[in-house]
Structure 1
Amino acid sequence: MTSVALGPTDQLDPRLLEHRRELTGYCYRMLGSVFDAEDAVQETMVRAWRGIADFEGRSAVRSWLYRIATNVCLDQLSGRKRRALPMDLSGSPYPPVEASLAGRLPSAAWVEPVLDRQVIPEDGDPAEQAVARESIRLAFVAALQHLPPRQRAVLILREVLRWKAEEVAQLLDSTVASVNSALQRARATLADLEGRPAPRSLDSDDRALLARYLDAFERYDIDAFVQLLHEDATQHMPPFEMWLQGREDIGTWMVTPPASGCRGSKLIQTSANGTPAFAQYRPAEGGGHVPWGLHVLEIEDGRIAHISSFLNLDCELFAALGLPTSL
């Protein structure tokens, strides 16, 4: 990777580069966007690169980088509206008809997905990886957006990254009492929001369910597909405001234009936001397949409870996620 400001990243101090992935995860939780997170980490590296000669080592390099990244994120969040998911904006589901696509918001309005491999160390402690996966769940990241930026930073640093109150106070140029008060307010806000399913590891039944999902979707066997869903399953499709509830409506939508154009798609399994996901490639008019959307799935009690279908309409999402941009 090369930056105009930095040059080839292999010329950077290794002490900076070794923290890049975890910093991306931190910035993603703060900002709710993989695009913004990458920009924030890049800016963090620029500032650190410029200041490394004057770094006196009074704190660990990791703490110093988090201090820079926090300031970058707070600057980005200043004056911005919070990102959300479609179900946060409308209390009622939409009918499964093409007219429901009338409402569309810019990408800056939505919480965006991130692949696990972009933000979770591959060789980390299993317990820490489990916490990391839970803390990038879409529902949790969307809930974080309800918090004021400094409360958000405090909660992530204390409860996700397990920093001590004294360390957070030093990072934020604050006091321990102020940090503890911010944490209590953040916890209270999240407690008032709707709960989310408890995380768990995939078992053999879940893996079989995912195999059936891939098979039914690629064959576009909608009868088989809807049987994999909970009766009250939900689906949303950013950048559109619409969301659906009930497997019958989801099945109806899939055979309704323009969604029916997904017939003949190919899927690649991956992991995003701590849960199973599929990258969908839709048939192209001239042949082959083009990136279309990322399905992020929630599994409960042996069935699919929710599908977040993030559409690649601007042709940037798959590239940002490091997914193949063609098949």
Structure 2
Amino acid sequence: MTPRDNFEDRLTALRPRLHRYCARMTGSAFDGEDVVQDTLVKVLRTRSDSAGIDDLEGWVFRIAHNASLDLLRRRSRSSIVPLTDELEAAPMPDGDIIAVSFETFLRLPELQRCAVILKDVLGHSVVEVASIAGCTPAAAKSALQRGRTALRQLADMPADTRLPLMPDAARQQMARFTKLFRAGDFDAIRAMLAADVKLDLVNRLQWQGRDRIAPYFTRYAGEPKWRFAFGAVEGRPAMLVFDRGAMERPAHFVLVDWREDKIAAIRDFLFAPYALESADWVRLEDA
């Protein structure tokens, strides 16, 4: 194995952990994956800078941290949870932390969010948190304590259960796509593809062009274990893909972008199942 192969293998192994961090920092599985991709591009472009760095993971997470903050500042929609010095901090059990939704993490101030995710979700030390966030260990420890307290308070609030609002056209298009997938009518789906359609198998490969993505449908046609349902992920219409015999929770999901009545892009999270971790999803009735 060449040094380049080893370097890229290490980045691939880091990807699920990076997504856990970026999704919670940005409050979205989709935005988190975009930040992960941007981070890995930056890392590969500046890989020479990593020569002599003992802590590759820390270096990559610093880049991901800054990329997440850049996205949040562009969005300018992060809300702050007011806290007081009198609150006593207590760690949440690991399972509770993992189950906290991305949107809930977004309600924490940036440093608190960073500290809780890195320490309680990913297992970094306080010193490592400080290094990644660019603050002192004392500030990181304080942010961790306050962030834990805030999450416990937020976890005690009633869940805001709601069906996603989506335009009727988007709902009907995704429902039809799902029905055709379920029926195995891939010829009908191919007829809806735009000539310049893009396929993104997240964390694996990207193709463009109607003819080039033909193997994608062949793979699904030859795999009997999947079951397909119309639903939504983070309020976006999606095709939920379930393993046979495990219909309680999707194994992964597929998004489709449309250009009028043509499919302009397919984004399939088959190779990125970590994107569903704590993401809001719901199964809906076909339109």
Determine the C-alpha separation between the residues in 1 that align with 2:254 and 2:12: 31
Partner of 2:191: none
Determine the C-alpha separation between the residues in 1 that align with 2:255 and 2:50: 41
Alignment RMSD (CA, Å): 4.7
Determine the C-alpha separation between the residues in 1 that align with 2:129 and 2:143: 11
Partner of 1:280: 229
Confirm whether residue 176 of structure 1 aligns to residue 176 of structure 2.
Answer: no
Determine the C-alpha separation between the residues in 1 that align with 2:160 and 2:34: 35
What residue identity is the alignment partner of 1:280? A
What residue identity is the alignment partner of 2:22? C
Q: 1:155 to 1:294 in 2, by over 3 A?
A: farther
Q: 1:54 to 1:235 in 2, by over 3 A?
A: closer
Unaligned runs of 5+ in 1: 1-8, 85-129, 198-231, 241-257, 269-277, 283-290, 297-303, 305-309
Match of 1:32 among 27, 33, 40: 27
Determine the C-alpha separation between the residues in 2 that align with 1:317 and 1:22: 26
Q: 1:83 to 1:71 in 2, by over 3 A?
A: closer
Partner of 1:23: 18
Partner of 2:267: 319
- Following superposition, the deviation at residue 140 of structure 1 comes to 2.7
Identity of aligned residues (%): 32
What do residues 220-275 of structure 1 show as CA deviations (whole Å, max 9, x unaligned)?
Answer: xxxxxxxxxxxx995422448xxxxxxxxxxxxxxxxx8xx89x96879xxxxxxx
1:179-198 correspondence runs (5 A): 179-195=140-156
Alignment length (residue pairs): 190
Q: Alignment partner of 1:78: what SS?
A: helix
Task: Give me the TM-score of the superposition, normalised by structure 2.
Answer: 0.51
Unaligned runs of 5+ in 2: 80-92, 184-226, 242-247, 259-263, 272-287
The answer on whether the counterparts of 2:26 and 2:68 sit within 8 Å (CA) in structure 1 is: yes
Partner of 1:237: 164
Determine the C-alpha separation between the residues in 2 that align with 1:239 and 1:136: 28
Match of 2:44 among 43, 46, 49: 49
Determine the C-alpha separation between the residues in 2 that align with 1:161 and 1:190: 16
Determine the C-alpha separation between the residues in 1 that align with 2:105 and 2:155: 12
Task: Give me the TM-score of the superposition, normalised by structure 1.
Answer: 0.45
Determine the C-alpha separation between the residues in 1 that align with 2:124 and 2:113: 14
Match of 1:147 among 93, 97, 108: 108
- Following superposition, the deviation at residue 172 of structure 1 comes to 1.9
Runs of 4+ in 1 over 4 A off after TM superposition: 9-12, 81-84, 133-136, 232-235, 264-268, 310-318
1:79-118 correspondence runs (5 A): 79-82=74-77
- Following superposition, the deviation at residue 143 of structure 1 comes to 1.1
Partner of 1:225: none
What do residues 33-71 of structure 1 show as CA deviations (whole Å, max 9, x unaligned)?
Answer: 233222211221122112222324343211211111111
Partner of 1:69: 64
The answer on whether the counterparts of 2:104 and 2:154 sit within 8 Å (CA) in structure 1 is: yes
What do residues 113-135 of structure 1 show as CA deviations (whole Å, max 9, x unaligned)?
Answer: xxxxxxxxxxxxxxxxx95x755
